[in-house]
Amino acid sequence: MGTRVRGAVVAGARGVVLAVAGLAGSITLFVVSVLSIALVPLGVGALATPSVLGLVRFWANRRRVAAAEWCGIRIPAAYRPLPPDVGGGPAGQVRRTRLVLGDPATWRDLRWLLVDMTAGCVTALLPAALMLYPLEGYAMAAGLWRAVTDGTHIGYWYAFVPISGQGSALLAALLGTVFLAVGMYAAPALLRAHFRVTRAALAPSDGELTERVRVLTETRRDAVDTSAAELRRIERDLHDGAQARLVAVGMDLGTVEALIEKDPAKARELLAQARRSSADALTELRDLVRGIHPPVLAERGLGDAVRALALRLPVPTEVDVELPGRADAPVESAAYFAVSETLTNAVKHAGAGRVWVDVRHSAGMLRISVTDNGEGGAVVGAGGGLDGIERRLGTFDGVLAVSSPAGGPTMVTMEIPCALS
């Protein structure tokens, strides 16, 4: 019974949050989105529309996360990735606007905003109403009825019970008990009903399965291209770095062999030079291995690897990790390098003075958020590092959400569906 009561109370509280915050956020975003899109023909809207619709996507993704964490309801996201060559400047913004408005997922998000501020708000309030409305009935029975009636005429209605005196007030309390009992069983189900309404508005239809296949094909191609580029980088670094140094070491040792009897002093000098070259080659090989797959990631997992990244940053960084196990190695590697790129952006481009990293896993989702107090203004689709992160996560059906108003702070949220072992 205690578990049922706690579940009903939690469902009611979450319903209030969804109704109040959701109503305000959905109305605001819908109005701003409509105004921004309406101004596109005038040229002004093209500058703001990608950012505004990016906020809408972030808002929709937050609701997807809540649906998965609170009720275990999965709502897939099928946004088209922007090509890496969109470009910058006004021309790039116009092209980015055209691509975003051509994505069916954008119009699903806007349709969901309408649903969320109407049917979504009602279905979110029902669990809270069933848990809170009985309190009014108990208050009537405790004496509040005297403030709403003179004892001879009906002064107030509690549901369908007319309040005219103490007897009818007790009936209101009895009815409130019935509402409370119903709420104990129905509140969690009603919260799930809210998220089912959300899924009906946000999830892609069967006719968009072809589009989903296209998105997966593009992410697979991006993964193959990224792997090929990484192999070329490794080959270049080996050829120009460690290999050249090892060749030099071999030549020095050959010269030492010829001079060891004729000129011992020169031979000792060349031996010292060979030792330095071998040490440099070893350092370069270690750095190369760390760039491919850091040893700390392989040995101790994602949490300690992110902590090691934070220790190397020149700004104070707080890391909070809650991982009851380890994800598959490819997922850990993608998450690690995504965090590394995000931290690099925060320090080099945003001018952050402090960074916070939160890593946790719940409801089958690895969720990482990186927040900094830098100057803000980061956007996805500008051809920078965030686009690379989005493509890297897309390989694993992950999503990237960025909130970065001008002046900061910036919050980058990454989510990858995975299981821990």
Mean pLDDT along residues 381-392: 73
Query: Beta partners for 317?
Result: 355
For residue 363, what pLDDT is reported? 72
pLDDT in tens, 267-294: 777 778 777 777 777 776 666 555 556 7
Mean pLDDT along residues 395-417: 83
For residue 358, what pLDDT is reported? 92
For residue 26, what pLDDT is reported? 92
Is residue 2 within 8 Å of 15, Cβ to Cβ? no
Distances (CA, A) of 413 to 98, 174, 410: 25, 48, 10
**How many percent of the chain have pLDDT more than 70?**
84
pLDDT in tens, 81-97: 776 666 667 777 888 88
Tell me: pLDDT of 214 over 80. no
Mean pLDDT along residues 259-266: 75
Alpha-carbon span 75 to 105, nearest angstrom? 12
Which residues, in sequence order, are CB contacts of 173 under 8 Å at separation 6+? 137, 138, 140, 141
Query: What is the pTM assigned to this prediction?
Result: 0.51
For residue 378, what pLDDT is reported? 78
pLDDT tier, 362 (very low <50, low <70, confident <90, very high otherwise): confident
Q: Quote the tokens at residue 234.
A: 């490794």
Between residues 60 and 298, the one the model is more confident about? 60
Alpha-carbon span 402 to 390, nearest angstrom? 10
pLDDT tier, 260 (very low <50, low <70, confident <90, very high otherwise): confident
Averaged pLDDT of the chain: 80
Q: Any idea what DSSP says for residue 208?
A: G
Q: Quote the tokens at residue 131.
A: 């848990």
Pick the CATH number of 297-417 from 3.40.50.300, 3.30.565.10, 3.20.20.150, 1.10.3720.10: 3.30.565.10
Question: Which of 7-11, 59-63, 282-286 has the highest average model confidence (pLDDT)?
Answer: 59-63
pLDDT in tens, 160-188: 777 877 787 788 888 888 888 888 888 88
For residue 110, what pLDDT is reported? 94
Name the amino acid, one letter, at 389.
I
Mean pLDDT along residues 217-241: 62
For residue 340, what pLDDT is reported? 86
Between strands 355-362 and 365-372, the pairing is: antiparallel
Alpha-carbon span 417 to 393, nearest angstrom? 10
Tell me: pLDDT of 31 over 90. yes
**What residues does each domain of the chain span?**
2-204, 209-292, 297-417
